[in-house]
Amino acid sequence: MTRKKDYEDEASAPTEPALETETKDPSQLTADLERARAREDELLRAVAELTNVNRRRKQDMETLAQLAQESLVRSILPVLDDIDRALLAAKGREGDPFYSGLMMIRERLWQTLGKEGLEPIDAKGAPFDPELHEAVAQQPSEDEPPGTVLEVVLPGYRFRGRVLRHANVVVAAPRQGSGESTALEKGNVARGAEETDN
């Protein structure tokens, strides 16, 4: 029941679109290709620049967050020092509820700060290291070699691998007439040279 007119319409309709018979000049094609490559290069550079900007922004945000955390932890260090002094003053009263409560507070504070990345600098008995220690005094010692840390006056701490506070220490002095130079003296000479250069 198809009409004849439908057959005629189908026969007269082109089955494929007409192909463009016009050809472009090869020099024009080369110029278009060069423009397309230049545009692609510009786009790739823009994408790379955007990626770098995003990476730098992320690094800056992480650095700011770490500096804020360092600042907070640095402000808590005197509280730790006060708790340690109170425990030292209450030595001998280990059974006292006040002493036990103070110990619990200290332990809980250390657990929290330790999870965030705070760690003490072990100094007593170690060789003096100007990167970790700050010498506040020298004391002669028959038992320890010169340059050894004899006593920790104020504990030092690292926060996520960076020195947050240097340990204030008393260092063994060189023996009289030995002519030995200690790490402390070498550190002081190096610091003096830096100050002279500046």
User: How far from 142 is each of 36, 122, 126, CA to CA, in Å?
Assistant: 81, 22, 16
CATH 3.90.20: does it fit domain 39-116?
Answer: yes
Q: How far apart are the C-alpha atoms of 41 and 73, rounded to whole Å?
A: 48
Domain ranges (residues) in the chain: 39-116, 119-198
Q: How far apart are the C-alpha atoms of 54 and 20, rounded to whole Å?
A: 46
Please report the DSSP string for 61-92 in residue order.
HHHHHHHHHHHHHHHHHHHHHHHHHHHHHTTT
Q: Do the domains spanning 39-116 and 119-198 agree at the CATH topology level?
A: no
H-helix or E-strand spanning residue 141: none
Our CA angle for 150, 169, 73, nearest 5°, is: 135
What CATH number labels 119-198? 2.30.22.10
pLDDT tens for the chain, residues 1 to 198: 555 555 555 555 555 554 454 567 888 888 889 999 999 999 999 999 999 999 999 999 998 988 889 999 999 999 999 999 999 988 888 888 889 999 999 999 999 999 999 999 998 889 999 999 999 999 888 888 898 999 999 999 999 889 999 999 999 988 775 554 545 555 554 444 454 454
Segments in 90-198 forming alpha helices (H): 97-116, 183-197
Total number of residues shown for the chain: 198
What pLDDT sits at residue 14? Answer: 54
**SS3 state at 129:** coil
Please report how the helices 26-89 and 97-116 are oriented relative to each other, as an axis angle in degrees rounded to 10.
Answer: 170
What pLDDT sits at residue 13? Answer: 54
What pLDDT sits at residue 21? Answer: 45
Q: How far apart are the C-alpha atoms of 146 and 184, rounded to whole Å?
A: 9
